[in-house]
Structure 1
Amino acid sequence: MNRTYACNRDFLRQLRLRNGWTQSDLAKRAGYSERLISKAEAGSPIALETIVDLADAFSEEEEQQIYWEDLACDPVALAQRFIHAVYTYQKDTVSHIRDFLAEDCVFRVAGNPEEIPFAGEHVGIDATDRMFQIFFSILEVPKGHDHTKHFQYFCQGPNAIIWGDSWIHPIGRPMETPIRVSHLLMFKRGKLMLLDDCYDTAAGAAILRDSSAPKPE
């Protein structure tokens, strides 16, 4: 049985418009009907072989090679999996997202490492895993917390953006207000290449400093 995938319709349309093509133009270049291109841009599943042909058609005009995995990747779904893993598995986050991590992935966490121990640029899966080990040796997810109510996900071509409020707090020190966070996730061939984690670093450092002080009696 032939495999079928839904295309990343935003990225497909972005590539088409970037080249100044109509759906009819793309159809002719790839060797398919305009109806099929319309179907692909609507997010309906199409054959893998067809996605390969579409990627080849774009690659003839793009400066960089476009692969079928780029067109079939669903960045929002993977971003949702990432947040689910962080809030559900915590220290074991990496083992639950390893299937879509590039071997040389980069996790870039804002902040001064002298104030925020997990801040900095972490290159590779092992370094990313160590970062999460440090992160969750200091912080924890609130008990009974429903993270799904606090994040929004946006597709940006082949990438995803996450906006939301983080209630993850120093162990044993719940917060009264959340920290606003944003994550940029960049993908290539269906693998996460870069995660850029941005937040109010001054507030984050202050919360960690306060957490090291003795609890009031």
Structure 2
Amino acid sequence: MAVQGKTLSDLRKRLGWTQQRLADVSGYSDRLIRKAEAGGTLHADTIEVLALSLSTAERPVFPEDLVVSMESLVREVSQAYSQSEGQLVSKIHQYFADDIELRAAGDPRQIPFAGTWKTIDGVDAFWNFFFRVLNRPDKRIYAPMLIANDTTCVSFGREVVETAEGGLKTESFVSIKYEFRQGKIVSIDDFFDTAATAKILREVQAQSAARSIEPLDN
């Protein structure tokens, strides 16, 4: 199995270990550690021993963490977001842990989809709700910049969104933090320009309220 070399290196450095130290703890040679961190192929049993060697009581490491490409999975999520919108979870649910949590920034009193959404069903409900409130006028594939470290991958980009009602638009930064465990996404933290988003939603509410009190023509 091919090893995600950078992830292995990040996890080793998190412990403050040299390659030789990991070799000593795992019982393998430093040559094998160098091969693994270069993205080489190792037997599944060897990967399991390396994961166990890197584990602590507070931060266990699983074999899947050393072989799954976080960047590839996040790109799949971004593509599903672009192409499937509110139905994206049906396309990529296999990438999510059963106990996944999604935390969307903002005040729920101003941004109705803000808050914490739990389990795969909760994440599915979030995206359905999100796309009932906002649309993506630009239908091109969203391709954010990715930075991976340890068991975390963060995406950075910009998106134009418009209100489903009224068509008011705003451009926002989007920063999403994905936390992985056992090769699956266990948490998502979604940050964006909450002030700009809340502003256009308030304007939609104001327009709707104004229409509701317009006098009827005699």
Output the CA distance in 2 between the equivalents of 1:18 and 1:120: 31
TM-score (norm 2): 0.85
Q: Residue in 2 aligned with 1:49?
A: 45
Q: Residue in 1 aligned with 2:213?
A: none
Residues 99-131 of structure 1, C-alpha deviations (whole Å, 9 max, x = no match): 011111110001122221111110111111111
Is residue 127 of structure 2 the alignment partner of residue 138 of structure 1? Answer: no
Residue 145 of structure 1, CA deviation: 2.2
Residues 160-198 of structure 1, C-alpha deviations (whole Å, 9 max, x = no match): 0111101232237263x5201111111111121111111
SS state at 1:118 partner:
coil
Is residue 198 of structure 2 the alignment partner of residue 205 of structure 1? Answer: yes
**Residues 1:144 and 1:132: Cα distance change in structure 2 (over 3 Å):** closer
Output the CA distance in 2 between the equivalents of 1:192 and 1:129: 14
Is residue 159 of structure 2 the alignment partner of residue 163 of structure 1? Answer: no
SS state at 1:168 partner:
strand
**Residues 1:199 and 1:143: Cα distance change in structure 2 (over 3 Å):** closer
Is residue 61 of structure 2 the alignment partner of residue 66 of structure 1? Answer: yes
Residue 32 of structure 1, CA deviation: 2.3
Match of 1:129 among 107, 124, 130: 124
Is residue 132 of structure 2 the alignment partner of residue 103 of structure 1? Answer: no
Match of 1:18 among 14, 19, 25: 14
TM-score (norm 1): 0.86
Letter in 1 for 2:137: P
Output the CA distance in 2 between the equivalents of 1:45 and 1:133: 40
Q: Is the 8 A contact 2:163 2:201 kept in 1?
A: yes
Match of 1:185 among 175, 178, 184: 178
Q: Residue in 2 aligned with 1:196?
A: 189
**Residues 1:122 and 1:32: Cα distance change in structure 2 (over 3 Å):** same
Output the CA distance in 2 between the equivalents of 1:147 and 1:56: 37
Gaps in structure 1 of 5+ consecutive residues: none
Residue 14 of structure 1, CA deviation: 2.5
Output the CA distance in 2 between the equivalents of 1:78 and 1:49: 24
Residue 62 of structure 1, CA deviation: 5.4
Runs of 4+ aligned structure 1 residues displaced above 4 Å come to none
SS state at 1:65 partner:
coil
- Percent of aligned pairs sharing the same letter: 34
**Residues 1:13 and 1:91: Cα distance change in structure 2 (over 3 Å):** same
SS state at 2:83 partner:
helix
Root-mean-square deviation (CA, aligned residues, Å) is: 2.0
Q: Is the 8 A contact 1:5 1:48 kept in 2?
A: no
